[in-house]
Each structure stands twice: as C-alpha cells, then as structure tokens.
Chain A
Amino acid sequence: MAATAQIVLIVMVITYITIRLFKISTELALFIAALAGAVAGGAGIPARHIVEGAFTYLDIILIFITATLFMNILKESGGVAFVVRGLLARFHRHKAILFVLITFLLLIPGALTGAGSVTVLITGGMIATVLHYMGIPKAKAAAIIFILAGLSAAAPPVSLWAMLTAAGVNMPYVGFFLPLLIPCVVLSLLTIFILGWKAKAVNLEKALEELPLAPARMNWQRVLLPFSVFFLLVAAGRIWPHSLPIIGLPLLFVAAGLSSFLLSPIKLDFFKISRETVQQLLPLIGTLTCVGILVQIMTLTGARGLIAISIVTLPLTVVLLSLSLVLPISEAVLMWGAAPVLGVPLVLLFNTIGLNPIVALAGMSVIWPLGDALPPTAIIGRLTQDTVGLEGSYGQLLKQCLIPAVIIMVAGTLLVIFSKELSFLTLL
C-alpha cells in the first residue's frame, strides 16, 4: 500500500508540474492531478469520490460568495469610498491614527470573507492612493497592502486555513477568535509602521481628488447599519441559542448584503453585482472545489496518509523549524489545499505531543498567507501589484515584504511552540 501510495503521489506531482508547464490554471492542474492519481491508484475515474470531494468545502464556498457579495454591494453603493474619504479628511494630519485606521480598513474585508483578494479589490486601490500621498513608494505600499491582505484572510471570524484544517481533524471551529485576532492585528500594525515609518502627512487636496467620490446621500448610518445587522444576528444566536434557529454565516452575510443594498443611496443592479462577484471569485471557488476533489482522491489512494505519516515521524525540532518555510511554499503550490494536506497531520502531531491545537493552528494560519506572494500561483501578490499600479519587476514587492514576513514567520512559529502556555486565549 505504501509503495502504491508513493507511486500515486509521484504521478500526481509530475502531472501537476506538467500541466502547469502548459500554462493551464492551478485549479485545473489540481483537478487533472487528482484524476491522474486516481487512475494510477487503480481506482479509474471514481465519479462518487469526485462528487464527494467537490462537496467537501461547499459550506465554505457559500460563506465566501455571500461575504464577498456583501462587500461588493458596500463598495458599489459608495460606502467604502465614503469611509476612506471621511477618515482621510478627519485624520490626515495624524499619521499614527491614520495608520491604525488604514489597518482596520484593510483587515475588515478579508476577515469577514476569508479572502485576501477581497481586501485587495475592495479597499486596496483606495488605500494605495492614500499611501501614495503620504509619500510611501509604490513597492512599499504594495507590500503593506499584500501583507495586511494576507493577515486579513487569516483574521477571524472567517479564516479558511483554520476552518479547512479544523474540518480535517473533526475539530469544531470554536475558540479561534482571540488566537487569530491578536497576532493578526499586532502583526498588521507592526507591518504598516515598519514599512511606512518615513511617511509624511497626507496631501489632502490631491488625495481627495484622486479617490472615487461617494454619493451625496451616503452617510455613516448607511455604512454601519448592515454591519450592525450582521453582528446583532451573530450576538442574538449566542445570547438565545435555544430560542433562535441556527442561521449560519452565509445567510447572515445575505442579510447584511440585502441591508446594504436597500440602504444604498444610489440604484444598484443586484444581479450584475452578483454575477461579477462569482466571476471575481472563480479562481478561489475553483481552487476550493478542486482541492476538495484532490484531497478526496489522495485519501482514497493512500497518498494523504503517506504525507501524514511522513510528517508525524519527522523529528519535532525539524518540523517546528521548517514551519516558516514549508507552510508558505505549500500555500504557493496548493493554495488552500495546503491546509487539509499539511495542516491536518501537523495539528494531529501537535495535539499528540501536548501542544494546544487551536493556538498552534492559529500560529500556522498566520504564516500560510505569506505563500500567496510566491510563484507558481502568487495570485494575491500579482493582484496587489496590478491594483497598486507597481510597474517593473515583481521582485520589488517581494523585497519589501521580507522584513515583515520574517517577523510573521517568527511570531507564527512562537505561537505554535508556546501554544500550551497561550491556551487561555481560546477562552475554552
């Protein structure tokens, strides 16, 4: 069985690399690698397992789509432009306060949707303008937006790496709020202050000229009410758990999105925004579906077990010291697929040796997004480069990311090592 699993794994890797060489997308390469693995493992084309795999992350896909739809409605209604312009007008003389506010503006879209790309698309462009008028070079601005977008994706309430891994080890996605929130916020603030420490006060007139205008009737109530609907429904579910039905995050986001739509001061085309949301999310939904299929086939053929056994039998020091390199590289190759493939055996290993699996997983979740800047995928890195309008080599962005990336790697690894001591953060 082990020999077969090794052959299957080798076939999958070779197929994946070959397909990528033909410039086929990562998602399709994952899908074809899964099919090749099934054939090599003697399972033929296992329709049942393909369907099972495609369903693995359906709930997460629903959260993804509805949360991004909510964010897109808010953006199209002028809410995001209103907030950015408002904060800039009020705090343009106070660099530190502006940095803190920018941090939260960049963290919220990704935290709610679980996707760093949403942060880049919703607020990235506008924040890049603000940073530009603070005298921050484009490469540094791109690095700030990329790193914060990555951390926003890891931040709660929706952290896909944590959710996927937790699902893989049959662990409820509970107790992750503080272990994810604290490092994400602290590391985001460190990043923006380190990369932006030479910034000067904003040239308000020029910045406001370049930022998109908000509709005249837009106000704070119209922006904040949809968020209040969301958080009130979340709170109500927790306060009266036996009296209210479990609504689920997708419907909560639908409720917030509909509130935002109804409160919009301008007429919006709901169907058009929905279509564009699905189009925008296609690579991400595709990855989740194909990764589900890949993981299912890997389980069927024993390849997943082989990876798990190989990891848990490595010396612990090697595992801990290599986390900061292995996790970003696995993210660069498999994107979220890295969580069920590598995350699951790692969490099981940490749990076995007495570390706290929740805090340890939070530490790993902080490191994973760094891989989104690395080839072959580098989806969010390249998206950030385009959004900011950074011309020239992509290497400039990577160079600027280096110092914050090292800090994040160290912090993530320390969270894993000291997870037992930090278990109070889970509030369980």
Chain B
Amino acid sequence: MIITLLYYLLIAYIAVLIIWNLIRSKKWQEEILYLIILMPFILRLFRLK
C-alpha cells in the first residue's frame, strides 16, 4: 500500500515536471511530444488506466 502510494507520488511529480517543461517550451515539436508523453502519467494519476 505504501509502495503504491509512493509510486503515485512519483507519477504526480513527473507529471508536474512534464507540464512545467511543456509550458516553458517554445518549440512546437517538443510541445506535441510533451503532450504525448504526459498522457499515460495523467491517466495513471487519475486511475483511469
């Protein structure tokens, strides 16, 4: 249970990092890529997948 919680925290932290970098990015290709890689993190975080 604690390990699962720690993994959710890790996922949340990485999602924040991706969103932060996405907002700061000035290159459209990077932005699209950030959106693609963000998808599994957000879905896992909200327990949709």
Contact = CB atoms under 8 A, between A and B. Distances in A.
Contacts, number: 71
Contacts of B7: 62, 248, 250-251
A392 interface: no
Contacts of A65: 14
B2 to A, nearest CB: 8
Contacts of B20: 275
A227 B41 CA distance: 28
B34 A282 contact: yes
A278 B3 contact: no
Contacts of B2: 245
Q: Which 9 A-B pairs have the closest CB atoms?
A: A286-B33, A278-B17, A54-B40, A289-B37, A55-B40, A58-B40, A285-B37, A54-B39, A25-B29
25 contacts: A25-B29, A27-B33, A51-B39, A51-B43, A54-B37, A55-B43, A58-B40, A58-B44, A62-B10, A62-B11, A62-B14, A65-B14, A246-B3, A248-B3, A248-B7, A251-B7, A274-B13, A278-B17, A278-B21, A282-B33, A285-B37, A286-B33, A289-B37, A290-B36, A293-B36
Interface of A: 24-25, 27-28, 31, 51, 54-55, 58, 61-62, 65-66, 245-248, 250-251, 254, 274-275, 277-279, 282, 285-286, 289-290, 293
Given A51-B49, A58-B44, 19 more contacts: A27-B33, A28-B32, A31-B36, A55-B49, A58-B40, A65-B14, A66-B10, A245-B3, A247-B3, A251-B6, A251-B10, A275-B21, A278-B14, A278-B17, A278-B18, A282-B34, A285-B37, A286-B36, A289-B40
